[in-house]
Structure 1
């Protein structure tokens, strides 16, 4: 089944009516429209809002990015909206690739002229290419074989005679031997998972280079059965020294099979579907990159819930969980990330900042900093938000900085103003 590829970005509208395609508006088939409505309903029951109806024939996407494949052959690629510009498809796609690789700590192989960052293809094809490159590297190092005990009947002796079974042979069958012996086979949990992922890639890929490499590798794994129990085989995946060369390919297996994706598509149809909440992806991306810039002894703690807003019947209620808590040399900073485009020139609209976010940060400051110190709100850097805003003061001792994070350079701008120990 050939796939019809559609690329949009967050908050785009999808309709069944004829429409000029763009990153913010696209036409889908009625069958894909109905399937997306059913998918959204299943997500809503679990507390996630994938999209919302905007009229009878229009769907508006929410803040989720990734790839969804429908049973009718529509591949919907959703990119992050990090700019107001409409000519940013390649830039947005590469940004999403970097953020996913960083957030999930995925090993990205880069090999000279075949630099995978330059592989300008939909997200699903990029993920499949990463898996294929990792699998190709693994096969060049060699598959892992294991001895497996086999009990069978043969007309010759091999290995060990199963005396008890042999004595139970009926008359006329005593010339056949019941034997036990070991076979050196590649049929192990790791290889079964590789075969399952490779089969899925062979069926899903439309990119010629991916298709060619996938089928070349498939011929090398044709004697290995595909996994029938994914979770059990992942539990049996070994991490010892002899399996070290298998480790780079495992995250890609988990991603393609949905074991590492924050949201998985349920039901009978399971294409290459990867969905990520953009708010959480942005938070994790910043956590990883800032963690690499900290000096020795500094700690960046995610989602700590040490304090609550109040107590009720001597029990804490309404837990306060800042995105990040930075501690260094007896000092602490509360950092909160927000995936939202703000405008540094829109003073009359409070720059697009949310009053609820400020209430939240004020509560964090009172609980985690005892009302004294610096807090930071981090937003993506855009054309309308290039420099840190002037500081906000809750009191003479408690301040708040609104800083831009440069997604291209991977740097937080103005961190030194808040006293953050970055790059020390």
Structure 2
């Protein structure tokens, strides 16, 4: 198996000889390079951009993060680009795992102090570790068994005799009985899928702790058959009250078996491959954290609404076209019982405070978009907010950037520190203070 390479968003990959791999440039096998090019064409056919082919030897990744495993065994781990330093692999992995858990509303069992302080596990091994830990916990709770009806011929009576089949018994076989009986067995779709995922980890993992735990658990499932139809067994996975303790392991099982994961790599090859668009992970995380922070604020009437879609840019022949869909709408109650409302949009882009002559790296298209949101959702009066990830050149303690569309319509650009648990609370405080500063600046 080829050595795994670790890169980050927008990195360049090649099969040519390189002196050293870095987070922004790495060498992969020629077969993996060809596979990536074909995969990029499949993404483009679905309206997505996975990579750009610079020439016949180099390709540039886009803003998808996750892990890819080619048929030749080349593993490519793609991390978020939220730090300028080149030694930020551990923090980037930790951030990506937190965003994945948040976006899919699943809980990680890596909650010990040691796992928080030192995170040096590759993403594929982390995914497998989560599955193994959940499976170990499931064994302690107990596997779910069910009664299964067995129909067979035996030399003895057991259960119920099938009289009709027995009367039609062929001559010379009267000594055999057609019987029906129930067996209390663990052979059910959920357990078969767990067995299949566990077998895959046993032959895939390169982490000693994962290997040890996987083989220990395999011995407990030795008599259970694996799944012969993964898709059908997932469709038959029950979500009843009696199966509630199975719900925590289901997402991790889907990850390992490459089923129903966001933009999972499809096809005949079933390596441990999954990708996430980083802007969607960022948007989802900010929305969830703001919702939690809002629930702890005093007063009534506070509201956060995601994914608005009630207004269109224009109409044509009595039909509205070009729907406007801002990420979030935030409403807060003030001390005088009035309400303040903001339209928020998240942007996974790095701003540069030292690059004012280039508009800090902001996109003119984003401002056109926000201008339309302001007129359609705020009637041209109020404050719009662009939320960017905090990093070295746009730190979390930076003052909001103020922009004015008119004397009545303002825009704020705020940093959001993904590694700060109080970032959502701080952002709300910045909004409450920023609207006063924006009004002063406009005047």
| Same fold, TM-score > 0.5, yes or no | yes
Distance in 2, matches of 1:38 and 1:320, equals 34
Distance in 1, matches of 2:231 and 2:432, equals 45
Matched residue pairs, number? 420
Distance in 2, matches of 1:124 and 1:420, equals 43
Structure 1 position 393 matched with structure 2 position 404 = yes
Alpha-carbon shift at residue 233 of structure 1 (Å): 2.3
Distance in 1, matches of 2:433 and 2:159, equals 68
Match of 1:279, SS state, is helix
Structure 2: state its 5+ residue gaps.
334-338, 435-443
Distance in 1, matches of 2:227 and 2:129, equals 21
Partner in structure 1 of residue 303 of structure 2: 299
Match of 1:308, SS state, is strand
Structure 1: state its 5+ residue gaps.
none
Distance in 2, matches of 1:230 and 1:244, equals 21
Distance in 2, matches of 1:363 and 1:37, equals 37
Partner in structure 2 of residue 259 of structure 1: 259
Structure 1 position 311 matched with structure 2 position 315 = yes
Alpha-carbon shift at residue 343 of structure 1 (Å): 0.7
1:373 to 382, 389, 393: 382
Alpha-carbon shift at residue 89 of structure 1 (Å): 1.3
Q: Aligned Cα RMSD in Å?
A: 1.9
Map 1:182-221 onto structure 2 (within 5 A).
Answer: 182-221=182-221
Partner in structure 2 of residue 17 of structure 1: 16
Structure 1 position 153 matched with structure 2 position 153 = yes
After superposition, the C-alpha distances for 1:149-197 in whole angstroms (9 at most, x for unaligned) are: 1111111111111111111111111221111110000011211111121
CA contact (8 A) 2:257 2:270 kept: no
Map 1:21-60 onto structure 2 (within 5 A).
Answer: 21-60=21-60
CA contact (8 A) 1:375 1:418 kept: no
Distance in 1, matches of 2:140 and 2:327, equals 42
Which sits farther off after the overlay, 252-261 or 361-370?
252-261
Partner in structure 2 of residue 137 of structure 1: 137
Which sits farther off after the overlay, 400-409 or 90-99?
90-99
Partner in structure 2 of residue 415 of structure 1: 428
Alpha-carbon shift at residue 299 of structure 1 (Å): 3.2
After superposition, the C-alpha distances for 1:301-329 in whole angstroms (9 at most, x for unaligned) are: 22221111111222221111111222345
Map 1:119-134 onto structure 2 (within 5 A).
Answer: 119-134=119-134
Match of 1:289, SS state, is helix
CA contact (8 A) 1:94 1:117 kept: no
Distance in 2, matches of 1:317 and 1:22, equals 46
What's the TM-score once normalised by structure 1's chain length? 0.94
Distance in 2, matches of 1:35 and 1:278, equals 22
Distance in 1, matches of 2:112 and 2:325, equals 43
Match of 1:317, SS state, is strand
Alpha-carbon shift at residue 254 of structure 1 (Å): 2.0
After superposition, the C-alpha distances for 1:254-281 in whole angstroms (9 at most, x for unaligned) are: 2223334221212221111011111111
CA contact (8 A) 1:403 1:415 kept: no
Alpha-carbon shift at residue 9 of structure 1 (Å): 0.5
CA contact (8 A) 2:2 2:75 kept: yes
Alpha-carbon shift at residue 253 of structure 1 (Å): 1.2
Distance in 1, matches of 2:433 and 2:98, equals 24
CA contact (8 A) 1:388 1:402 kept: no
What's the TM-score once normalised by structure 2's chain length? 0.90
Distance in 2, matches of 1:90 and 1:100, equals 15
Match of 2:134, SS state, is helix
CA contact (8 A) 1:69 1:76 kept: yes
